[in-house]
Chains A and B, each alone.
Chain A
Amino acid sequence: MPVSVKNDYPSEADETLVKWAQQGDTEAFEQLVFRHRDKIYARALMMMRNEDQALEYSQEAWVKSWQRLVQFQGDSSFATWVTRIVINLCLDQLRRQKRVRTESIEAMEEESGGVERQLPAPESNPTAGLEQDELRRRIDEALGKLTDAHRTVVVLHEFEGLEYKEIAKRIGISIGTVMSRLFYARRRLAFLLQSLKRERSE
């Protein structure tokens, strides 16, 4: 166990805190939780769209990350590693609730090319003139209007940077379905953002 004064923790880099935590230092781990808790919670909230569940799964992700800490080799940042854990927890939950694999009428239309044709192509600058906080809020609102299945592929692709193949594997769907859902989700987002812009100008 490293000899350290408690006040040192906030000024230490993640890498150092992780090493200490791997040796059983719970105060170092607490500092990591404090540092990244909002990001982990935000990702869970984006996936689940429910504050209680987001809180529960984000905390569960921290517990799991403590239990698996020895497996963390530093191939990615610590925050990215914990984010992947919380995403897996949320995906498990969504799968259990059949929220990501269920084929709705909308999904069938989407995959047959029906709805996507009725939506506009993404506009060059659908949110011009909005303040940053407002923009962030509107994007969140638009994401919230997507189905779980569509929002999940957007989160995994746009925010987690996963390739189609990896998304397909994680969700348990075909690559073609990933592409189709992503395309539909993007067009719907563009449509929703344009609608919000129109509302604002009226």
Chain B
Amino acid sequence: MKSTEQLLDLQAYVDGELPEERRRQVEAALPADLNAQELVTGLRQLGTLIRAYEPTATVPVTREFYWSQIRRQIEAEQPKAPAASAALGWLRWLIPAMGVAAVAVVVSTQQTPREITLAGGGDVTVVDVSSTVFRSESDGVTVHWIQ
């Protein structure tokens, strides 16, 4: 009876997994060992048999149903179409740029506040063309006039 190591060596020999030196040793010992020859033949034939008659199977649902589930997942995880994403990418830069531009316009057009001293001790500050601030120091009142 062979040891487990010897059996596994014979299997590795059949599978072409033995190092060269060990392979030569096994090959040299085979002609005198009928049990080993039987095992080697049996393992080879079993492998040939199961590979030749590999079990097959058919998807148990229709092609349309099978594909529709795959397509749904693909579409759910897929990034936007290239044209759409390119447009979005451009907008992503455009929107903040427009914001910055708007601020720049406001700053550049903002007029230096002008103060007008009224006879009653109040000040009128003109901050731009559409708003006027009236502050009365004596009454402690500030009025914002937006035109």
Binding site for B on A (CB under 8 A): 24, 26, 29-30, 33-34, 37-38, 41-42, 45-46, 51, 54-55, 58-59, 62-63, 66-67, 113, 116-117, 121-127, 132, 135-137, 139-140, 143, 154, 157-159, 163-164, 176, 179-180, 182-183, 186, 189-190, 193
- CB pairs A–B below 8 angstroms (25 shown): A24-B82, A37-B66, A41-B57, A42-B56, A42-B57, A55-B59, A59-B66, A59-B70, A63-B74, A66-B74, A122-B42, A122-B46, A126-B46, A136-B55, A136-B56, A139-B49, A139-B54, A143-B50, A143-B55, A164-B12, A164-B17, A179-B8, A183-B7, A190-B42, A190-B46
Chain A residues within an 8 Å CB radius of B94: none
Given contact pairs A41-B59, A113-B4, A183-B11, A139 touches B50 in the complex (Cβ within 8 A):
yes
Is there a chain A Cβ closer than 8 Å to B73's Cβ?
Answer: yes
Residue of B12, B38, B58, B63 touching A121 (CB-CB under 8 A): B38
Is there a chain A Cβ closer than 8 Å to B90's Cβ?
Answer: no
Please name the 6 residue pairs, one residue from A and one from B, whose CB atoms are nearest each other, closest first: A122-B42, A140-B55, A42-B57, A113-B4, A122-B46, A136-B53
Residue of B8, B15, B51, B73 touching A63 (CB-CB under 8 A): B73
Is there a chain A Cβ closer than 8 Å to B60's Cβ?
Answer: yes
Chain B residues within an 8 Å CB radius of A136: 53-56
Give bound CA distance, A154 to B47, whole Å.
10
Interface residues of B in 60-82 (CB under 8 A from A): 60-61, 63, 66-67, 69-71, 73-74, 77, 82
Is there a chain A Cβ closer than 8 Å to B111's Cβ?
Answer: no
Q: Is the CB of A123 within 8 A of B50?
A: no
Is there a chain A Cβ closer than 8 Å to B41's Cβ?
Answer: yes
Residue of A38, A127, A132, A182 touching B59 (CB-CB under 8 A): A38
Q: Is the CB of B4 within 8 A of A164?
A: no
Q: Is the CB of B53 within 8 A of A139?
A: yes
In the complex, residue of chain B having the shortest beta-carbon distance to the beta carbon of A122 = B42
Give bound CA distance, A143 to B63, whole Å.
27
Q: Is the CB of B59 within 8 A of A37?
A: yes
In the complex, residue of chain B having the shortest beta-carbon distance to the beta carbon of A189 = B46
Is there a chain A Cβ closer than 8 Å to B124's Cβ?
Answer: no
